[in-house]
C-alpha cells in the first residue's frame, strides 16, 4: 500500500480503537456505510448540468471534498479489514481495464467492453 494510504490506514485504526468501534467495523457494515457516503457525494451533483458539476462554487466544492474524503476513508478501512492492498488492487484493475478497453477501440466511446 502506498505510504499515504498506510498513514490513513494507521490513523483510522487508532481512531476506531480509541472509540472501541472495531466491534462495529465488519466489512459488511463498512461497505454499507461506504454506499451511504457515496450517495451523499452524489447528492451534491443531483440535477446539475454537466458543465455546472465541473464548475462548483467554493463552498460546494468544500462540501464535495468532505464527502470524497468519507468515501476514501471507508475504502481504506474496508481494505484494512480484508487485508487488501488498496493501491495494488487499483493498479491491477487499471491493467485489467486496459485489456478490456484497448485505446484504439474504446477512444471516445461509452460502450461497454463487450460491445467494442
The CATH number for 77's domain is 1.10.287.1080
Within a domain: 99: no
How many angstroms separate the CA atoms of 18 and 53, rounded?
38
All three cell numbers of 3, joined, read: 505510504
The pLDDT assigned to 44 comes to 97
Within a domain: 93: no
Which residues of the chain are modeled with pLDDT < 50?
Answer: none
The pLDDT assigned to 1 comes to 59
Cα distances (angstroms) measured from residue 15 to each of 18, 34, 41, 66, 73: 5, 17, 23, 17, 11
By residue range, what is the domain housing residue 64? 3-84
Pair 80, 9: CB distance under 8 Å: yes
Model confidence, pTM: 0.90
- Total domain count, the chain: 1
Within a domain: 17: yes
Amino acid at each position: 500500500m502506498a505510504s499515504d494510504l498506510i498513514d490513513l490506514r494507521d490513523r483510522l485504526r487508532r481512531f476506531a480503537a480509541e472509540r472501541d468501534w472495531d466491534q462495529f467495523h465488519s466489512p459488511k457494515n463498512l461497505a454499507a456505510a461506504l454506499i451511504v457516503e457515496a450517495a451523499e457525494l452524489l447528492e451534491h451533483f443531483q440535477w446539475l448540468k454537466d458543465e455546472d458539476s465541473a464548475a462548483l462554487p467554493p463552498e460546494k466544492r468544500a462540501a464535495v471534498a468532505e464527502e470524497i474524503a468519507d468515501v476514501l476513508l471507508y475504502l481504506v478501512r474496508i481494505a484494512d479489514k480484508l487485508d487488501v492492498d488498496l493501491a495494488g488492487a487499483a493498479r491491477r484493475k487499471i491493467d485489467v481495464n486496459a485489456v478490456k478497453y484497448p485505446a484504439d477501440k474504446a477512444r471516445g466511446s461509452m460502450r461497454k467492453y463487450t460491445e467494442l
